[in-house]
Structure 1
């Protein structure tokens, strides 16, 4: 990606130190990938950014999703309130948050981000649902314990059709308070048709600081929150829908996939990267392709095992890096170091993909493309003839499992100075690009400076779309 001085100066102070952790290998049999019709309910996610309520006394407040009654709860905006954006709900004693309206297209999976207020002790809370406009409620799922000072994500499978309203109840009482934020609600039993035939499911990661600094490497951002389902709903996309339908630097990519009958989702902050965990609705086994564009925090040992097991058992992984010293959140790790750590320090297999990301910074347009038949370079989406690096890192291939696809303009077509490559691991597939600029569509959150790399060179869209379909085993 093009270098932004705003974060580069700070990034120069960062140190990239790789860590090594061991995790027992897990090899579950992947579940069948189904084509669901889930989209966000109208008005959600609820981010608590609108409305004002400064007292704990019971009262109604109009929020982005509609009117809610907050009892022994308020909208907090202090430094002790853990939140995304400027406000979150703060609940004390046996307080409740109750919708004063119904969602009319049913409720599928609900997620809620939660944390303790300030440095308070742990508290318990529950989600309840009503199908009779609030006359009675039934508990959904397990009781949740909030004990962290950073927002965590709790997920509930409601699966109620028709008119539904929700209530969150703090059940532990006492003086400890909790913060609640970013409530997502997916429809259930609605009229949105699922993809037919060869439709696949693509998951775009947002759990590793992909929106840090001047970046927006996600499908959609709503008021600073990355929702699971981009809004407006994907069901509204037609053949003429522009990429500005969603706000995110990867919206062009997502809209293009939806136009071809595929499903796309973000993996929101606080959601676990797992493989074979049936209690996680966004477990990797439920998807065909996992896209990770410029991660800015290290993967945990468990996440490494999940990602590598997903690929080894048939999944597709799209890896996008950026240049050396591109540490957007100043935690000491940039994307080349993070990707190399995944491949070199895991308990599944060392060097599983047969390449590494170089610690350099390249700016050039190259037409040094592999010749011959190749589905990524000459696929159904068109012929790839060049790529433009606007501050990216090269790739070094070190095993025959990897195939170099594009090289630097003056390089011989060998294993060094590679700009794009593909690989296989087990029954799965991998594609790597060393720069985030080609996928950047030039739209993002207000205040972020992004660039139209997706359309700057015609081959960029062709490369990413061909690679996506190849990873999904459609070509």
Structure 2
């Protein structure tokens, strides 16, 4: 929800509003996918009465991970000369592990990725195709199709709860005899189908050790123009983690050991309501006992709900002390604190090589703060520097048995979507912002080291 057109470095007192940047057309991955390598495996097109969930599950039939970046799905007829129904482009960085699954639907509460609003499956039957769109016209030709199916309600999954499941991944997609209703209500989203006859689909859908990620949404994350929620401007961030195999959930409750139980990583996206002493203790203990926490702040003077606290002050634990190293929160506990500044630069290219910044070539800063490393915790690593600044913009480190990371600008992970009336802008698709996001959570979860 920040500017995206300022080049260079400046210090600002308030955030300005500029037009959102153009959305880039994502092209397919360079490696072509052979037909049948990824198949349409399960379809929920007519859910039980009273619900509106629709989704399609793709299955990787091979023994190697497959990159689906830029490939498309559609319910438009294969070979059609015009687009009369929906089409959705699979985001960059989306892969299906060997023997794993990818689910795409109308709600991220059920599927890993949320498809376009104009894509909807008919309750009487429909078509669905995965295709490369090599010619860029959004129309699926037979030469571009990886897999497709045209089904009717007579095949199964007819609105009483079951999904329509594929029996044999190696069998013909277009044959009604290769499909049947699931034997469980709600289907088997992201898991082996109940009607398999060929042993296929036995993989776990790419789940990872310590795979549960929790988003704090109970501390003013929707105040003012913000919408730092997994259903709003952080939805692409959450989707990218789901694609990697993580389970992503949110909480509006006070942070406690009970709330954090079972989670590996806690994301704290620009809070605007202060954490209580009890909550801070729970977060500190969570890290100390092996959890990971991502502290995402903004710039000074970014109090969106006018309660006297912005994210910099909240994390630092002080409204007035500019260098809070004692008697505060993160400065006294983890060995860093957020500086009271407001900086803009794009692109930022001073990236220090490590596992968190792997693949990151540049990021943008649209009104953010730098981070001072106090020296009290030798594990703290400085990752990214804004030009002319002695202090970094992103850091990571360890505390006890766990890990933490900190970022000085929430704009990087804003995908431009959210509640009506919010002034949100897409930073997620700028530079390598999304790569930094996913890398950091993977490192916090211990998936990468």
Within 1, Cα distance between the matches of 2:333 and 2:255?
19
What is the distance in 1 between the residues matched to 2:298 and 2:330? 24
The within-5 A match list for 1:58-97 is none
Contact kept? 2:316, 2:329, Cα under 8 Å = no
**Residue 435 (structure 1) aligns with:** 409
Q: Contact 1:319/1:430 (CA < 8 Å) preserved in 2? A: yes
Where do 5+ consecutive residues of structure 1 fail to align?
10-40, 46-161, 164-186, 221-247, 278-282
Farther off after superposition, 442-451 or 341-350: 341-350
Distance 1:198 1:256 in 2: 14
Q: Structure 2 length as normaliser, TM-score?
A: 0.53
Residue matched to 1:331: 307
Q: Is the 8 A contact 2:207 2:246 kept in 1?
A: no
Q: CA deviation at 1:418?
A: 1.1
2-structure distance, mates of 1:410, 1:197: 41
Residue 410 of structure 1 and its aligned partner are, at CA, apart by: 2.7
Which of 419, 423, 439 is the equivalent residue of 1:445? 419
Which of 187, 192, 196 aligns to 2:189? It is 192
* 2:428 pairs with one of 454, 457, 465: 454
Deviating more after overlay: 359-368 vs 421-430: 359-368
2:380 to 379, 402, 411: 402
* Aligned residue among 292, 302, 305 for 2:268: 292
CA distance 1:337–1:259, shift in 2 (3 Å): same
> Which ranges in structure 2 are unaligned for 5 or more consecutive residues?
5-12, 16-47, 53-159, 162-183, 192-204, 319-323
Quote the offset at 1:285 in angstroms: 2.4
Partner of 1:469: 442
| 1:2 alignment counterpart | 2
**Cα deviation digits, residues 199-237 of structure 1 (max 9, x gap):** 5111111010100100000111xxxxxxxxxxxxxxxxx
- Cα distance change of structure 1 residues 396 and 441 upon mapping to structure 2, 3 Å threshold: same
1:129-179: CA deviation from partner (whole Å, max 9, x where unpaired) = xxxxxxxxxxxxxxxxxxxxxxxxxxxxxxxxx99xxxxxxxxxxxxxxxx
1:274 paired to 2:256: yes
Higher strand share: 1
Instruction: Report how far residue 385 of structure 1 moved.
Output: 1.5
Q: CA RMSD in A?
A: 3.2
- Counterpart residue number, 1:309: 285
Report the CA distance between 1:197 and its aligned residue: 4.3
Residue by residue, what CA displacement relative to the aligned partner does 1:416-451 show, whole Å, maximum 9, x if unpaired? 331111111111111111001100001111111101
Q: Distance in 2 between matches of 1:196 and 1:387?
A: 28
Partners in 1 of 2:405 and 2:363 — Cα distance? 15
Are 1:254 and 2:238 an aligned pair? yes
Separation in 2, partners of 1:214, 1:188: 40
CA–CA distance in 1 between the matches of 2:397 and 2:413? 20
Q: For 1:253 and 1:42, locate their aligned partners in 2 and report how far apart those are by CA, in whole Å.
A: 31
Quote the Cα distance in structure 2 between the aligned partners of 1:429 and 1:331: 30
CA contact (8 A) 1:319 1:431 kept: yes
Task: Determine whether 1:205 maps to 2:216.
Answer: yes
Q: Distance in 2 between matches of 1:360 and 1:347?
A: 18
Aligned residues of 2:288 and 2:399 also touching (Cα < 8 A): yes
Q: CA deviation at 1:368?
A: 4.3
Tell me the SS of whatever aligns to 2:272.
Answer: coil
Change (3 A) 1:429 1:44: farther
Q: Is the 8 A contact 2:348 2:387 kept in 1?
A: yes
Q: Distance in 2 between matches of 1:433 and 1:441?
A: 16
Asked if the contact 1:205/1:293 (under 8 Å) is kept, the reply is yes
Rounded to whole Å, the distance in 2 between the matches of 1:390 and 1:348 is 25
Find the aligned partners of 2:373 and 2:428 in 1 and give their Cα distance.
26
Q: How many residues align?
A: 259
SS in 1 for 2:255: coil
Aligned to 1:384: 360
**Superposition map of 1:161-180 within 5 A:** none
User: Residues 43 and 262 of structure 1: is their aligned pair in 2 closer, same or farther, counting only changes over 3 Å?
Assistant: farther
Give CA-to-partner distance per residue, 1:238-259, whole Å, 9 cap, x none: xxxxxxxxxx100111111111
State the partner residue of 1:215: 226
- Structure 1 distance, partners of 2:238, 2:326, is 31
Is this contact kept in 2: 1:305–1:347, CA < 8 A? no
